Chain A
Amino acid sequence: MRSEKALAYLLLAPSVLFLAAIFFWPLAEAFTIAFTDAGGRPSLANFREMMDDLNFAPAVRNTLLLVAVVVPLQLALALGLAVLLANIQRGRDGYLYIWTIPLGISDLAAGILWLAILSERGYINSILHALGIVDGPTLWLSYETPLALFLSVVVAELWRATAIVLVILVAGMQLIPREYYEAAEIFGAGPWQRFLKVTLPCLRASIQTALILRTILAFEVFAVVIALGGRDMPVLAGEAFAWQYDYQDPGIASAYAVLILAVSMLATWGYLRVLRVREETLL
């Protein structure tokens, strides 16, 4: 018995060591750097300087707005797609594979792809020009057109990252017993009612997982924004990168990292509270 217990710890040890080496240690390091000044004394100077920077307010605003717009849209889209998939009889796997292609593309590649579509010499401009709708190259991705730039990022993010939500929801839907739907039908529930009363409640755990995952990733949004907007649309992760590599100030870069971690944890806690899943409802 004792040796069995020891074996369990032994088997766990590699992953614990791995996590400690590549997760907890850098995390502790980042906290230390963020909360000390140049002389190594405990200090909030990095955070003061971070908040005093001209890009801080726009970065916070843009990141929060992106999360607020992109995540609900992705959830709605993925729910719609998942329900559609559930009702497809033939070629269901084919559709699923096609819809999840963006998952296999790196986010920077996705950003560059959308840049090729949306830039002033990109595909959309060429098509609009050929149709005579615009006279010449029209600029959407610039500091002069912040709304268009924001919407471009939203579209690219929807294309790129809805699939991960979809995969989680499809997996969740497969676990809902057919009998629930049959029972609902017998009681005269229409399609909409079945969706609201059966599908949604049963998907609660999956939705929670998908939301947590997507929201955390959305707070870290970086490559797509850099590709489409450069520094014209500051976001938190982009600022962290710039402070580390362009301005060579690890203190403020770490302060940004700590901030991203804090908002991510806050959001996760919020989801866990709001979408609390009771043990007995887990199928």
Chain B
Amino acid sequence: MTGRWWRAQAAAAVVALVAGIGTARGDILFMSTQLRPIEEAQKMREVILRDFPEEVEFVPEDGGPFINRIKAEGETGAVTVGVLGGLHGDFPPVLEHLDSLDDVLAKLEADRDFIATFVKLGKLGTDHQVYIPWMQATYIMAASRKALDYLPAGADLNRLTYDQLKAWAKAITEATGERKLGFPAGPKGLMHRFLQGYLYPSFTGGVVRTFRSDAAAAMWAEFRDLWQYVNPRSTSYDFMQEPLLAGEVWIAFDHTARLMNALKEKPDEFVAFAAPAGPRGRGFMPVVAGLAIPKGTPDREASVRLIDHLTRPATQVITLREVGFYPVVAVELGEELPAGVRLAAAAIDAQAGATDALPSLLPVGLGAKGGAFNKVYRDTFQRIVIRGEDIEEALARQAEKLAAIMRETGAPCWAPDAPSEGPCPVE
């Protein structure tokens, strides 16, 4: 009797489960490695997708399961996902399972202007559009208006060079007796991103391949020279908004989110601008997220409609307002946004849109060795700039460690390094 009862219950449960899947089938399944925190996911469901007429099931997923599911679905042919949202680096491992979006891009570009740099990144080095740019975050410069009086003659804030930055910081030190340039080189600061995404690309045109090149040696000599105008508290700064607000630092580099309090609290006292350029261009590190469609998706038309909605200028502004990721299409940022957000947005735009822009990506394919990779760059900085070690020797020592990490992970080169067969070599 009880056995039969249980069987009946189990059967009912199975029926309910199948029915549940049945009703979900009409929805567009949108799987994303971004906006994972519960508040951000809720913003996506309740605000960003509110004006989209169709049902969307937004599923935030960690990087590992994200890749596994795409591979599993692609290999078995039972594809359920409609749209994939991820960082640039999330897509290369599943490239073979992603549909070409050339037609989608052509359709979307009819009524909106994507930032060209990101469209190119979205090809992942192939001939086809693999993802459509979705949203971005990045690192920029911010300065107190007090610093502007010392700007070298003829310098344009959004077109600065590293030479001009040095002249600027020098002028401030000479006038005030204090070192007012600051970097986030503290324990939790993002100094390694400055080295990997800004300094190295700007001076050497690469990150891994050029690690111990002659250009790199010259770059370190130059940066060590610049450091005499840098506030020595920099080695304990984690978020540059704090020393900026305290007035300890007048010019700073950091992630937009880590400058935001300063820009939001005192938008009249600060300016935001693009990172400087070196001999090889204006190296910068966009954290770009894109939207892709897996091959064999159940309803490709619906997926395209969702991508269309998410990349509309109006939706992009809502995304910025709600979750703090910046637009990847040309938008009008109106008064409804805080002044600080608009300051940062203008700087991001100037940086990504600069004629000499040289985008450098977050490391791809390092897995658990990401921390060790960052340490190589931070230690090189520590040795050369803080401890004043011999540049050639320090680079040789650190290059060995870098090469070992690349060998161990087998990670191929990423932009701006030229592509490699096998692990990215340290030349």
Binding between chains A and B: yes
Binding site for B on A (CB under 8 A): 53-54, 120-121, 136, 139, 141-144, 226, 229-232, 242, 246-249
In the complex the two chains form, is A232's CB within 8 Å of B235's CB? yes
Partner of B236, one of A53, A230, A249: A230
A21 to chain B, nearest CB (A): 28
Query: B99 interface residue, CB < 8 Å from A?
Result: no
In the complex the two chains form, is A143's CB within 8 Å of B177's CB? no
In the complex the two chains form, is B187's CB within 8 Å of A226's CB? yes
In the complex the two chains form, is B178's CB within 8 Å of A231's CB? no
Partner of B233, one of A53, A136, A142, A231: A142
Instruction: Write 5 A-B pairs (CB below 8 A) sorted by A numbering.
Output: A54-B382, A54-B387, A142-B232, A144-B232, A247-B375
Q: Which of B55-73 contact A (CB under 8 A)?
A: none
* Per-position 1/0 for B285-310, Cβ under 8 A of A: 00000000000000000000000000
Q: How far is the CA of A229 from the CA of B232 in the complex (A)?
A: 12
Q: How far is the CA of A249 from the CA of B233 in the complex (A)?
A: 27
Further pairs besides A120-B248, A247-B374: 4, Cβ < 8 Å: A120-B233, A142-B236, A229-B236, A248-B371
Q: Which of B371-422 contact A (CB under 8 A)?
A: 371-372, 374-375, 379, 382-383, 386-387
Partner of A139, one of B233, B246, B370: B233
- Residues of A near B186 (CB, < 8 A) are 230-231
Query: B368 interface residue, CB < 8 Å from A?
Result: yes
Contact (A232, B236) CB under 8 Å given A121-B246, A136-B177, A246-B187: yes
In the complex the two chains form, is B371's CB within 8 Å of A249's CB? yes
- Residues of B near A246 (CB, < 8 A) are 187, 371, 375
Partner of B235, one of A53, A54, A143, A247: A143
Q: Which of B87-141 contact A (CB under 8 A)?
A: none
- Name the CB-closest residue of A to B246: A121
A94 to chain B, nearest CB (A): 39
In the complex the two chains form, is A247's CB within 8 Å of B371's CB? yes
- Residues of B near A226 (CB, < 8 A) are 187
Q: How far is the CA of A46 from the CA of B236 in the complex (A)?
A: 28
- Name the CB-closest residue of B to A252: B372
Q: How far is the CA of A54 from the CA of B389 in the complex (A)?
A: 11
- Residues of A near B232 (CB, < 8 A) are 139, 142-144
**Quick one: which of B187, B236, B371, B383 has the most chain A CB within 10 A?**
B236
- Residues of B near A53 (CB, < 8 A) are 379
Q: How far is the CA of A143 from the CA of B232 in the complex (A)?
A: 7
**Quick one: which of B177, B235, B383 has the most chain A CB within 10 A?**
B235
- Residues of B near A247 (CB, < 8 A) are 371-372, 374-375
Number of interface residues of B (CB under 8 A): 21
- Residues of B near A121 (CB, < 8 A) are 246, 248
- Residues of B near A242 (CB, < 8 A) are 187
In the complex the two chains form, is A142's CB within 8 Å of B235's CB? yes
Q: How far is the CA of A13 from the CA of B402 in the complex (A)?
A: 50
In the complex the two chains form, is A231's CB within 8 Å of B235's CB? yes
Q: How far is the CA of A231 from the CA of B189 in the complex (A)?
A: 11
In the complex the two chains form, is A248's CB within 8 Å of B233's CB? no
- Residues of B near A136 (CB, < 8 A) are 177-178
- Residues of B near A139 (CB, < 8 A) are 232-233
Q: How far is the CA of A226 from the CA of B236 in the complex (A)?
A: 9
> Which 7 pairs across A and B sit closest by C-beta, in order of nearness?
A230-B236, A248-B371, A247-B371, A142-B232, A247-B375, A144-B232, A231-B187
Q: Which of B353-379 contact A (CB under 8 A)?
A: 368, 370-372, 374-375, 379
Q: How far is the CA of A246 from the CA of B232 in the complex (A)?
A: 22
- Name the CB-closest residue of A to B247: A121
Q: How far is the CA of A247 from the CA of B373 in the complex (A)?
A: 8
Q: How far is the CA of A246 from the CA of B371 in the complex (A)?
A: 6
B164 to chain A, nearest CB (A): 26
- Name the CB-closest residue of B to A246: B371
- Name the CB-closest residue of B to A232: B235
Q: How far is the CA of A229 from the CA of B178 in the complex (A)?
A: 20
- Name the CB-closest residue of B to A245: B371
- Name the CB-closest residue of A to B178: A136
In the complex the two chains form, is B368's CB within 8 Å of A248's CB? yes
- Residues of A near B372 (CB, < 8 A) are 247-249
B237 to chain A, nearest CB (A): 9
In the complex the two chains form, is A248's CB within 8 Å of B370's CB? yes
Q: How far is the CA of A218 from the CA of B234 in the complex (A)?
A: 27
- Name the CB-closest residue of A to B398: A54
- Residues of A near B248 (CB, < 8 A) are 120-121
Q: How far is the CA of A206 from the CA of B125 in the complex (A)?
A: 71
In the complex the two chains form, is B187's CB within 8 Å of A230's CB? yes
B387 to chain A, nearest CB (A): 8
A2 to chain B, nearest CB (A): 48
- Residues of A near B383 (CB, < 8 A) are 54
- Name the CB-closest residue of B to A249: B372
- Residues of B near A231 (CB, < 8 A) are 186-187, 235-236
B372 to chain A, nearest CB (A): 6
- Residues of B near A249 (CB, < 8 A) are 371-372
- Residues of A near B382 (CB, < 8 A) are 54
B62 to chain A, nearest CB (A): 16
A56 to chain B, nearest CB (A): 12
Q: How far is the CA of A165 from the CA of B163 in the complex (A)?
A: 56
Q: How far is the CA of A53 from the CA of B178 in the complex (A)?
A: 33
B379 to chain A, nearest CB (A): 6
A182 to chain B, nearest CB (A): 57
- Residues of B near A229 (CB, < 8 A) are 236
- Residues of A near B246 (CB, < 8 A) are 121
- Residues of B near A248 (CB, < 8 A) are 368, 370-372
- Name the CB-closest residue of B to A145: B232
Q: How far is the CA of A53 from the CA of B235 in the complex (A)?
A: 18
- Residues of A near B236 (CB, < 8 A) are 141-142, 229-232
* Per-position 1/0 for B153-164, Cβ under 8 A of A: 000000000000
* Per-position 1/0 for B345-359, Cβ under 8 A of A: 000000000000000
- Residues of B near A142 (CB, < 8 A) are 232-233, 235-236
B64 to chain A, nearest CB (A): 15
Q: How far is the CA of A25 from the CA of B315 in the complex (A)?
A: 53
Q: How far is the CA of A226 from the CA of B238 in the complex (A)?
A: 13
- Name the CB-closest residue of A to B404: A49
- Residues of A near B187 (CB, < 8 A) are 226, 230-231, 242, 246
- Residues of A near B368 (CB, < 8 A) are 248
* Per-position 1/0 for B312-353, Cβ under 8 A of A: 000000000000000000000000000000000000000000
